[in-house]
Structure 1
Amino acid sequence: MTTLQNKPTRVRWLILAILFAVTTINYADRATIAIAGPELKRVLGLSPVEMGFVFSAFAWSYVLAQLPGGWLLDRFGTKMTYFFSIFLWSLLTVLMGTVGLVAGATALALLFGLRLAIGAAEAPSFPGNSRLASAWFPTNERGTAAAIFNSAQYFATVLFGPIMGWLVHSFGWESVFYVMGGLGIAISFVWLKTVYGPKEHPLVNQSELAYIEAGGALTDLESKNRAATSGTIRTASAIRQLLASRMLLGVYIGQYCINTLTYFFLTWFPVYLVSERHMTILKAGFVAALPAVAGFLGGVLGGLISDRLIKRGYSLSKARKIPIVGGMLLAMTMIVCNYVAADWLVVLVMSLAFFGKGVGALGWAVVADTSPKDAGGLSGALFNTFGNTAGITTPIVIGYILQQSGSFAGALVFVGANAAVAILCYTLMVGEIKRFEFKSPVHG
């Protein structure tokens, strides 16, 4: 009996499963506009540039709300801040389905406004994921944890891409927003009942707490007392010091480049399949799932490789950088699609590219490794601000490229070039990866 009592529980993996499920819904909700995009473009008569601005609307507010979202996480804790985030973005997704009730400029304005609101509502999501990974996982498991919740972006397409394509084909574009928004509202209440900090979770035992603490988990990060005192941080002073760090700035810029690939996939990729490769919307929904499967597998593998390297004695810096650099090299292969005609070859190359992007998407593990203890939400929010600025620029830049050239060739070069810049950031700028500590007081 004593042996059973002393055996560590594995509650951290339950927390990770919930993070994975919520992040899957998160990315599926983001992708609804891409799946419905070709039909919306036809119904509303939008130009490529107008469609680019609609695609980017989410990211404008998502970026602007990052720092307030991070402050809310540090001030009120992840559990309640994230609950309201999930519920609100899901309700707004349901309302997206009502755009068809109006017409013309009013419909376009409503579409743009709702996407802006969804972006603001989702702002605390990934900094919240990072905070929970820091609180629940030791260093030698954190890469795997971050890779798994981050790979949900691909799993969302694998699971929901075909479903959403079928919904548009069978019931019209409005149905996508009703179904996905309703699912998100349901999971927000699952979150409320299952997620706690390590020291407050009713299922965790002392053995698991001791194990994760010894491995570097910040187990008091989500405690009520900690959340209350974090509100005294002088935000402007903290941001200045974070941005003055060459290591962190390199990570932030690298994430912008990596997210350029993400937002191409979330916005223009289905349109690429329909307009450039002449697939039906239904077929595009299924075909888009294949690179997503590769991205999901690559994402999980990248975290496993990184943590395995740590266990074999490699430094934290090498263990994180090797998968990132190798993955981005593979991601650059998408440019090859400009030189092949067969659809199966395009799908194969895109699958290889997104496998590489998945392997290299370890930025959130690096944030969990480097964020200062008193400002994990703020650091994650700053990282996400840089990263998701790509959500503003990528759809618009590609829209202009398409309008000027009438082809996706330049767009694929643009996306591949960003992968190359990400490599330069991690090899030349980041240096040693370690937890950042403020050099002057930030508490008021």
Structure 2
Amino acid sequence: MAPLPPGVYFMVSFSRDQWYRAFMFTLTFLLYASFHLSRKPLSIVKGELHRLCPVTPSQPPDNHTHCGWAPFDQENYQQLLGALDYAFLCAYAVGMYLSGIIGERLPIRLYLTCGMLASGAFTALFGLGYFYDVHSLGFYMVAQILNGLVQTTGWPSVVTCLGNWFGKGRRGLILGLWNSHTSMGNILGSLIAGYWVSSCWGLSFVVPGAVVATMGLVCFLFLVEHPRDIACTAMLAAHPKACENNTQRFRLQKSVRNDPKSKSLDPEMQLLLPSDGRRPVQQNHVVILPAEGGAAISFLGALRIPGVVEFSLCLLFAKLVSYTFLFWLPLYITSVDHLDAQRAGELSTLFDVGGIFGGVLAGVVSDRLEKRAATCGLMLLLAVPTLCVFSTVSRAGLEATVAMLLLTGALVSGPYALITTAVSTDLGTHKSLKGNAHALATVTAIIDGTGSVGAALGPLLAGLISPSGWSKVFDMLVCADACALLFLTRLIHKELSCPRLPATDQSPLKEQ
């Protein structure tokens, strides 16, 4: 018998379960990256909506070619642009609390598909203001508010779906890698919006809107909410009595559940890739159906889960810092380094590149130490002096700006990424829930919704403070980072005072 080609050998070395997990990992990554791709254009276009150019009496300003786009061509342009950010983020924060509760009670695939199609439409609507020569602040505010509301369908849905497919074995690493979709979406959004920002800024919104809507159709066609929704393998087909109602779902017998060796068959504990690098044992696609009749958790019930309040408040201030950079960094670079809108947008992507490394590093360290809060606390502590010197060092030249963007991106985005992914999933499957599988989206929405309040306040405060100097904006960011660290002190103390947990329970939150 001839040896298998290397490519085929690689493909068959993974079980069917692992291929499905890899596919769901990639699909949810791309789905949420498209959400962030559609949020970035406004920060890129800000420099075009108000250009710092002189106006002479003999050459009156023209909205299309000179000093900006009315009504953002006035002296209070920073407040008006900040109001657009605030409208989107306030709607997002309010909608997030409702979205988790609604998402627990609707099919995730249909809920997410409708949200992505609507988000694509409202993102494009903002850009249509360019083509139809709209100069009403109310038009752009309404477009931002509607987009903020529908975008809340994304995060609880994708986190719940991913939590269904992956167990606790390497949750920090896997979700740290997965959470790089935030930075990847920001980078792609910056590049796409920057391509048209100087020639036709309306396309900077229409094209990302089309991308989000297209990914919504992909979600409808391919997203699988839970492993139990996948048909059985050929071995199960050999035992047709084990399948139910043409869906071929299989329930493990009690004797198998009680067998310690059967843990290897549990798809919730199976890793995405084999840890020893060798060919894994081929496993049957066995799905454990959850207990029937589990009711969705209430809002107050989710708040009583140990750690939810502390991490929610921590994320409020951590997200305040992150979203201030997200919405105002290109304009800051334009002011400090005197670059045009396109160059400033491209340079701002370095903050997101640093965020990718920060999110992965936070996940790896928290898995190794088994201390989520302490990992977040360490990165927040290191971010304080970094933010203190950012404004001063970045004025020393382009090279210094590049270095500070990478370092700050890693330290700011690391805790934010860890809390919104691994921590939210840990708390959504907390032992106090006693197996209730309907809590993950609600817990995720509470944590990210509270964080979104900070995300709304950060850009608004930056718009109000920046006229008095960018150094004042960075003072505000330092204070916010210190507050985020303060809210974690009790959890950090509890983690450091407790002995190391056994390997079978990766999350220190379980012991609170």
TM-score (norm 1): 0.85
Cross-structure match for 1:323: 375
Change in CA separation of 1:398 and 1:204 when aligned onto 2, cut-off 3 Å: farther
Q: How far off its partner does 1:269 sit?
A: 0.8
2:509 aligned residue (425, 430, 434): 434
Indicate the SS of the match to 1:140: coil
Asked whether the equivalents of residues 35 and 164 of structure 1 are also in contact (C-alpha less than 8 Å), the reply is yes
Letter in 1 for 2:473: A
CA distance in 2, matches of 1:402, 1:384: 26
CA distance in 2, matches of 1:14, 1:75: 25
Change in CA separation of 1:116 and 1:377 when aligned onto 2, cut-off 3 Å: same
Change in CA separation of 1:244 and 1:8 when aligned onto 2, cut-off 3 Å: closer
- Cα offsets for 1:4-60 (capped at 9, x unmatched): 797753321211111111121111111111111221232124321121111111111
1:190 aligned residue (218, 224, 229): 218
Change in CA separation of 1:77 and 1:249 when aligned onto 2, cut-off 3 Å: same
Indicate the SS of the match to 2:487: helix
CA distance in 2, matches of 1:174, 1:132: 34
2:294 matches 1:294? no
Q: How far off its partner does 1:157 sit?
A: 2.8
- Cα offsets for 1:345-373 (capped at 9, x unmatched): 12211210111123322012101001143
Cross-structure match for 2:282: none
2:104 matches 1:44? no
2:326 matches 1:260? no
Asked whether the equivalents of residues 100 and 444 of structure 2 are also in contact (C-alpha less than 8 Å), the reply is yes
Q: How far off its partner does 1:222 sit?
A: 10
Cross-structure match for 2:157: 128
- Cα offsets for 1:202-244 (capped at 9, x unmatched): 5989999934334699x98998x97xx56x54x6xx2223334
Cross-structure match for 1:306: 366
Cross-structure match for 2:461: 397
Q: Which moved more, 1:202-211 or 1:334-343?
A: 202-211
Cross-structure match for 1:357: 412
CA distance in 2, matches of 1:40, 1:5: 51
Asked whether the equivalents of residues 302 and 358 of structure 1 are also in contact (C-alpha less than 8 Å), the reply is no
Cross-structure match for 2:487: 425
The structure with the largest alpha-carbon Rg is: 2
2:163 matches 1:143? no
1:179 aligned residue (190, 207, 210): 207
Letter in 2 for 1:243: L
Letter in 2 for 1:345: A
Letter in 1 for 2:471: A
Letter in 2 for 1:22: L
CA distance in 1, matches of 2:21, 2:195: 35
Structural mapping, 1:370-389, within 5 Å: 370-371=427-428, 372=433, 373-389=437-453
Q: How far off its partner does 1:252 sit?
A: 0.3
Q: How far off its partner does 1:298 sit?
A: 1.9
Q: How far off its partner does 1:331 sit?
A: 2.8
Asked whether the equivalents of residues 30 and 266 of structure 1 are also in contact (C-alpha less than 8 Å), the reply is no
Indicate the SS of the match to 1:259: helix
Q: What is the CA RMSD across the aligned residues, in angstroms?
A: 3.0
1:27 aligned residue (1, 16, 36): 36
2:419 matches 1:366? no
Change in CA separation of 1:129 and 1:220 when aligned onto 2, cut-off 3 Å: farther
Q: How far off its partner does 1:429 sit?
A: 4.4
Which structure would you say has the larger RCO, counting Cα contacts within 8 Å and 6 or more residues apart? 1
Asked whether the equivalents of residues 135 and 222 of structure 1 are also in contact (C-alpha less than 8 Å), the reply is no
Asked whether the equivalents of residues 36 and 189 of structure 2 are also in contact (C-alpha less than 8 Å), the reply is no
Indicate the SS of the match to 1:164: helix
2:201 matches 1:201? no
Asked whether the equivalents of residues 258 and 418 of structure 1 are also in contact (C-alpha less than 8 Å), the reply is yes
Cross-structure match for 1:163: 192
Change in CA separation of 1:17 and 1:247 when aligned onto 2, cut-off 3 Å: same
Indicate the SS of the match to 1:213: coil
Asked whether the equivalents of residues 294 and 355 of structure 1 are also in contact (C-alpha less than 8 Å), the reply is yes
Q: Which moved more, 1:44-53 or 1:29-38?
A: 44-53
1:113 aligned residue (142, 149, 152): 142
Q: How far off its partner does 1:86 sit?
A: 1.1
Q: Which runs of 5+ in 1 are unaligned?
A: 438-444
Letter in 2 for 1:14: F
CA distance in 1, matches of 2:227, 2:343: 44
Letter in 1 for 2:483: V
